[in-house]
Structure 1
Amino acid sequence: MYSTLQRPLFGMDHMEVPSKTIPPELLQLLADNLPREMFTTDGSLDFSKVEKRDFWGRMDRNQDLASEGLNALEESIVRPFVVMAKIAEYLRRNYRTPLGLTAIADQFGMKPVRLRRSFKKIFKMAPLEYLMNVRIENAKKLLASTTKGINDVAVEVGFYDHSALTKQFLKITGENPSAYRSKKREEIFDMLVKFG
Structure 2
Amino acid sequence: MYKVLLADDEQIERMALARRLLNRFGDSLRILQAVDGKEAVKLCFKERCQIVIMDISMPEMNGVEAAEQIRRLDENCEIIFLTAYDEFSYAKRAIAIHALDYLLKPCEEEELTAVMEEAMRRIEKREQLAEKQYNMEESGNFTGHRAEKSHDEVNGGKEEGDETNMTQTAEKIRRYIRKNYMKEISMQDAARMMNYSDAYFCKLFKQCFDQNFTAYLTQFRVNEARRLLQDKNISVREVSMMVGYYDANYFAKVFKRIEGMNPSEYRDSL
Q: Structure 2-normalised TM-score?
A: 0.39
Match of 1:182 in 2: 268
Match of 2:202 in 1: 116
Quote how far apart the aligned CAs of 1:154 are.
Answer: 0.3
- The letter for the 2-side match of 1:137 is N
The question of 1:90 aligning with 2:176 is answered yes
- The letter for the 1-side match of 2:268 is S
Match of 2:232 in 1: 146
Residues 9-88 of structure 1 mapped to structure 2, 5 A cutoff:
75-88=161-174
Whole-angstrom distance in 1 between the partners of 2:159 and 2:248: 46
Which of 105, 113, 127 lines up with 2:191 in the alignment? 105
Whole-angstrom distance in 1 between the partners of 2:175 and 2:254: 21
Match of 1:21 in 2: none
- The letter for the 1-side match of 2:251 is L
Match of 1:169 in 2: 255
Which of 217, 222, 230 lines up with 1:131 in the alignment? 217
Q: State, as a whole percentage, how many aligned pairs show the same letter.
A: 27
Whole-angstrom distance in 2 between the partners of 1:165 and 1:135: 10
Question: Is the partner of 1:132 in helix, strand or coil?
Answer: helix
Quote how far apart the aligned CAs of 1:74 are.
Answer: 7.3
Quote how far apart the aligned CAs of 1:182 are.
Answer: 0.7
Q: Deviations over 1:71-118 (max 9, x none)?
A: x99734432332122112210221111101111101110112221221
Question: Is the CA contact 1:92–1:131 (under 8 Å) kept in the aligned structure 2?
Answer: no
Question: Is the CA contact 1:154–1:160 (under 8 Å) kept in the aligned structure 2?
Answer: yes
Say how many residue pairs are matched: 113
> Comparing both structures, which one devotes a greater share of its residues to strand?
2
CA pair 124-145 structure 1, distance change in 2 beyond 3 A: same
Match of 2:244 in 1: 158
Whole-angstrom distance in 2 between the partners of 1:177 and 1:131: 18
Q: Structure 1-normalised TM-score?
A: 0.53
- The letter for the 1-side match of 2:266 is Y
Q: What 5-or-longer segments of structure 1 have no aligned partner?
A: 1-71, 185-196
Quote how far apart the aligned CAs of 1:122 are.
Answer: 2.0
- The letter for the 2-side match of 1:88 is R
Whole-angstrom distance in 2 between the partners of 1:74 and 1:156: 33
Aligned-pair RMSD on alpha carbons? 2.1
CA pair 73-96 structure 1, distance change in 2 beyond 3 A: closer
CA pair 158-74 structure 1, distance change in 2 beyond 3 A: closer
Match of 2:122 in 1: none
